[in-house]
Amino acid sequence: MDFDETFSPVVKPATVRTVLSLALSRRWPIHQLDIKNAFLHGMLSETVYCAQPAGFEDPARPDFVCRLNRSLYGLKQAPRAWYSRFAAYLLSLGFVEAKSDTSLFVYRRGADTIYLLLYVDDIVITASSPAILQHTIQALQQEFSMKDLGELHHFLGMHVQRCGSGLLLS
């Protein structure tokens, strides 16, 4: 039914600049993360079949097909399935999707604030304290296989470099 909904929402460039400006003005740490094999994390909500993979055919049943339980790279639904899975997990942690950009997730509890930007499998995350930032990264690492790339230095083709009290984007 939703076969045409194959896209994965991605963060808008204006949202990236706004969040970086906020983090910089508040002197918050800014980290970047990379999800490993992101599309393999997606759960399919519809029934999808595929031909038996090359090298794994059952010679006794050559006409049989495989029913997929999870998404695969190359599957049209994979980007959307990944986004839905990741967004659902963030919502379970207490994040909310921003109304202006569905790839901006915001967490607020007391004095703690976190902004998370998602562009397919690339994440930029900033928080009001290093402790809450590390706690959130650890929660994400328990659910998804990911690399913590440390302080933001490269995102969406932009080289990011701290210089004094600012950021140089090139």
* Domains in the chain, CATH or no CATH each: 13-169 (3.30.70)
pTM assigned to the model: 0.82
pLDDT attached to residue 63 = 85
pLDDT attached to residue 152 = 86
d(CA 116, CA 140): 11
**What is the mean pLDDT, run by run of 10 residues, along the chain of 170 residues?**
60 89 93 82 71 84 81 71 88 95 94 94 93 96 91 82 80
Helix 130-143, helix 78-93: angle, nearest 10: 130
